Amino acid sequence: MRRWATLLCLILLACAAPAAAQTEIHRCIGANGGAVFTDQPCAALQATPVDRNAASTQDAAPLAAPPILCAATPDELRQSVIEAFASRDANRLAGLMLWDGYGRGAAIADIRSLAELMKQPLLDVDIPNVSAPAQNASTDDPFAEADAHDAPSAGDQLVLHTGGNDGSGNPRELRFRIVRQAGCLWLRNAG
């Protein structure tokens, strides 16, 4: 009987130990607007708590709307492309693109092409007829899905001019469609 009591106590102890070892997970919004999940209080990471209990127990400022990190205007999109080239960051340029409908292999191939493109000097970024509204931008619903297969018009393209990589010295021109989706402007390969 004593053996059973000892065995029962060990089983109960083994079941209780994982529950005692679990720590509280804090949900926070970081300084960059991204979600942060941590075992430390949000204030220790200079982040804002998400749940009301954490906000009321800590003297934190009320939650503000997260910043919009995508381009809302053609000029913002153009500037983001220029900044991506200035930092030679293919991932940053890839982050401006709309990737839905791409297979994994096609996306990887396009990102590699963007990395090669970043090695060339940027000569110009142009949005012809920027005063004309983009084809998919004139919707009352900012979250409306854009049809990626619409034929591009002159006003909804971003044209890149880079130095050529074929040794001829001739500049290279690449065209990207500008598509509005989820309230943001995105680039889509026009080819």
Rounded-to-integer distance, Cα 117 and Cα 119, Å: 5
Alpha helices in 69-165 (DSSP H): 74-86, 90-94, 104-117
Nearest to 185 by CA among 153, 137, 150: 137
Give the C-alpha separation, 77 to 127, whole Å.
10
What pLDDT score does 46 carry? Answer: 83
Question: How is the beta sheet containing 26-29 ordered, strand by strand?
Answer: 35-38, 26-29, 48-49
- Whole-prediction pTM value? 0.53
Q: Which of 161, 153, 158 is nearest to 132 (CA)?
A: 153
Name the residue with higher pLDDT: 140 or 81. Answer: 81
Distance of CA 52 to the CA centre of its chain: 27
Pairing verdict, β 157-162 and 172-181: antiparallel
What does the mean pLDDT of the chain come to? Answer: 75
Q: What is the pLDDT of residue 133?
A: 42
Rounded mean pLDDT of 137-146? 42
Tell whether the model's pLDDT for residue 76 goes beyond 50.
Answer: yes
DSSP H helix total and E strand total for the chain = 5, 7
What is the model's pLDDT at position 27?
Answer: 86
Q: What is the pLDDT of residue 136?
A: 43
The pLDDT of residue 25 is: 82
The CATH number of the domain covering residues in 74-189 = 3.10.450
Q: Which is more confidently placed, 29 or 149?
A: 29
pLDDT confidence of residue 172: 87
Q: What average pLDDT does range 2-28 have in this prediction?
A: 73
* pLDDT score of 77: 92
Radius of gyration of the chain (CA): 26
* Greatest distance between any 2 Cα atoms in the chain: 92
Q: Which residue spans of the chain are classified as CATH 3.10.450?
A: 74-189
